Structure 1
Amino acid sequence: QRLYLGAFVERQLSSGAIAERSGTFRGDIHTRLERNGERLVLNGSKFYSTGCLFADLLKVQAVDEDGHAVYVILPADTPGISMLDDWDGMGQRVTASGSTLLENVSVRPEQVIPLAQWYQRRNYVGASAQLIHCAIDIGIGLAALDDAVLWARTGSRPVRESGVDQARNDPYILHTVGDLAARIHGAEALMEKAAGAVDLAARSQLQGLAQGAELEEILVRASIAVAEAKIASTRAALHVCERLYEVGGAATTQSRYNFDRHWRNARTHTTHDALAYKYKAIGDYLLNGNAPPIAFTY
């Protein structure tokens, strides 16, 4: 805590080198932290390393010799780390989500953070992480809504049969903007509700305000609330970013306006999780009383 929270206070940036392309299942980690004589060494590769090219500290997920998950926190300039600016996704282009190569990287014991406890017992961390993803998607949708409103006021022309001389008075443009606002603000409200559930879950667990079955239920409800918000934020962001074009017509497709970045960003970011399993988790909880998996995605 002194080492890393202190670094953040000093405005050092941290980012994660987590996901890999190897393995049978999404989320499989093959980067290894092993002993080599008296040294700990880290070897592996990461396919998505969002923000790492901008970061002072890298949070690398690995497995140790016992197969337990760990984070290894390393300065970005540590010998043996190579970061590639090879991210070529259609959206999120400025996130620097390139590859990270780790070749016999020397690691000190204080740079290793065990993760086993977060996989072995239910906790609030997965819901908290997912809440951040909800906020990103909603932020994209709100930006698209702002562009739609500004375009309707200043850039769009009404069709002749509308009977009005300004697009801002066209009933169908008004309807479209109203639809966009309702969708994204509805998702925003659901996210804020979920944030309250996560806050309660975190305080209950960290401060010992609840124990046993009571704590379990608080944590499960937080995960379910965030799953609902994740569904809403994904659907709303994609909807708003697509229907933006109905406000302005063909002129909005000109590359100089770059309005397509909203949809590209939303579509790219919302593929991080299998949304169908959010629906499944909610339904299984409500119908059968089954809790979602203990994972960073719930």
Structure 2
Amino acid sequence: MSHNDRRLHREAALVAGRPAPHIPPRRVEAHRIKDDGEAIAVARELAREFAIGAAERDRERRLPIAEIERFSQSGLWAITVPKAYGGAGVSSVTLAEVTAIISAADSSIGQIPQNHYYMVEALRLAGSEEQKAHLFGRILDGDRLGNAFTEISTKTPVDFKTSFRERDGKLLLNGQKFYSTGSLFAHIVVAVAKDEHDRVHLVFIDRATPGLDLVDDWSSFGQRSTGSGTVTFDDVEITPFQIVDHDGVFERPTPMGPFAQIIHSAVQVGIARGALAETISYVRAHARPFFELSIEYGYEDPHTIHAVGDVSIRVHAADALLARAGRLLDTATENPTGDTVAAASIAVAEVKALGTEVAQLAATKLIELGGARSTLESHGLDRFWRNARTHSLHDPVRWKYHHIGNYYLNGSLPPRHGAI
């Protein structure tokens, strides 16, 4: 894509959206979480705050700028930084639970740091010691990483035209990204780009770097406030110190793939939890009994009771699968072999499949059991289904079932990439 083409694309994006919000450089160091227990406690506290206003933010498509600042300043965005570099180095079980807790309150906020955690893990696996010391230090202090991964003008979501080349003694990055979740809130934008040999790398770029532009043009009907819009790189000057090899983390057995996916799985489980909790609250407060029944309250309806019981069982099953996947991912992290990574990938695929199904079921039952008044825009209860459906499209769940079945039936190990 030429300079002029990128300019035209950016102008079109601005017509469809809004300029990116101003995110000033961080001036205050974030709190440093010490261990897994503190991470869970802080997540629960924040979830109570984030639940307030979640429906309004969704309705107005308002970016949660203050909430994300609160989130990262709490220390939760640094909990996967290894202990050797000053972080809490929490378990995958804890990371998944933190994500589910936040997502139950507001799934857009729960999804936003997914790519931040992904890039931290890639840095752990492939970064040099100098890169780790520098970037982990910034992350511990509260800097946020944003995603510039997927493109919409290529054959598949994992084909990339964005690239960097040497020209006139400078290393220049060019390209355009979409679905850039987290970048609008980021201090450092991480671009996925190819070198001259078509090898894929991660490039860590400070937000204020000349030639880097962000546009808030995300218009999906769900996950409305993730800010997953357009990022353009127009002759962005970079250095080798900013570049981390990405292909290498999938050329050998590493936990990179299941690590990426367990966070997405936890978002779905969180939506299911949130929808179930909202169902119980709404039915108890507002649902009226069916006129054929001689009961006083809607929550006494035997069919409603049965439906809530059914959804509760399925949500609890998804909870159990999420914790199990986290334990197997921790095993793969400690001892990454072909078998341990495959076992973790399949376990994560199982919870992603069930969690996606249960989130949509719980969201549907919320409206069904709540009755006609539950569809009023003022309640905002439709956001659970819209969010679950939108987020589920991150990668096709139908392929989860294929890889799971092939693993158990034929002993075939799943492929190593970020979508399984």
TM-score class, shorter-chain normalisation, is over 0.9
Match of 1:264 among 380, 383, 386: 386
1-structure distance, mates of 2:268, 2:248: 29
| CA deviation string 1:212-242 (max 9, x = no partner) | xxx2111111111111111011111111111
Which 10-residue stretch deviates more, 92-101 or 283-292? Answer: 283-292
2-structure distance, mates of 1:26, 1:174: 43
The question of 1:184 aligning with 2:315 is answered yes
| CA deviation string 1:54-102 (max 9, x = no partner) | 1111111111111111000111111101101100011011100010011
Give the aligned partner of residue 254 of structure 1: 376
1-structure distance, mates of 2:154, 2:299: 52
The question of 1:278 aligning with 2:400 is answered yes
Is the 1:81–1:100 contact (alpha carbons within 8 Å) kept by the matching residues of 2?
yes
Give the aligned partner of residue 299 of structure 2: 168
Give the aligned partner of residue 15 of structure 1: 146
Deviation at 1:132, TM superposition (A): 0.1
The CA RMSD over aligned residues, in Å, is 1.1
2-structure distance, mates of 1:113, 1:127: 20
The question of 1:288 aligning with 2:410 is answered yes
Aligned to 1:44, what secondary structure does the other structure show?
strand
Deviation at 1:26, TM superposition (A): 2.6
Deviation at 1:160, TM superposition (A): 2.3
Give the aligned partner of residue 217 of structure 2: 86
Give the aligned partner of residue 285 of structure 2: 154
Is the 2:250–2:256 contact (alpha carbons within 8 Å) kept by the matching residues of 1?
no
2-structure distance, mates of 1:254, 1:22: 38
Is the 1:191–1:226 contact (alpha carbons within 8 Å) kept by the matching residues of 2?
yes
Give the aligned partner of residue 206 of structure 2: 75
Deviation at 1:283, TM superposition (A): 1.3
Give the aligned partner of residue 252 of structure 2: 121
2-structure distance, mates of 1:122, 1:281: 17
Unaligned ranges ≥5, structure 2: 1-131
Deviation at 1:103, TM superposition (A): 0.2
2-structure distance, mates of 1:251, 1:226: 37
Is the 2:150–2:158 contact (alpha carbons within 8 Å) kept by the matching residues of 1?
yes
Is the 1:56–1:75 contact (alpha carbons within 8 Å) kept by the matching residues of 2?
yes
Match of 2:186 among 55, 58, 61: 55
1-structure distance, mates of 2:325, 2:264: 12
Match of 2:266 among 129, 135, 139: 135
| CA deviation string 1:139-177 (max 9, x = no partner) | 111111111011111111111222210112211111121
Is the 2:279–2:366 contact (alpha carbons within 8 Å) kept by the matching residues of 1?
yes
Aligned to 2:378, what secondary structure does the other structure show?
helix
1:241 maps to amino acid: A
1:16 maps to amino acid: N
Deviation at 1:10, TM superposition (A): 0.6
2-structure distance, mates of 1:246, 1:26: 35
- Listed as ranges, the matches of 1:207-218 within 5 Å are 215-218=337-340
Aligned to 1:100, what secondary structure does the other structure show?
strand
1:191 maps to amino acid: L
Equivalenced residues, count: 289
Unaligned ranges ≥5, structure 1: 206-214
Give the aligned partner of residue 236 of structure 1: 358
Give the aligned partner of residue 211 of structure 1: none
The question of 1:64 aligning with 2:195 is answered yes
Is the 1:173–1:246 contact (alpha carbons within 8 Å) kept by the matching residues of 2?
no
Aligned to 1:162, what secondary structure does the other structure show?
coil
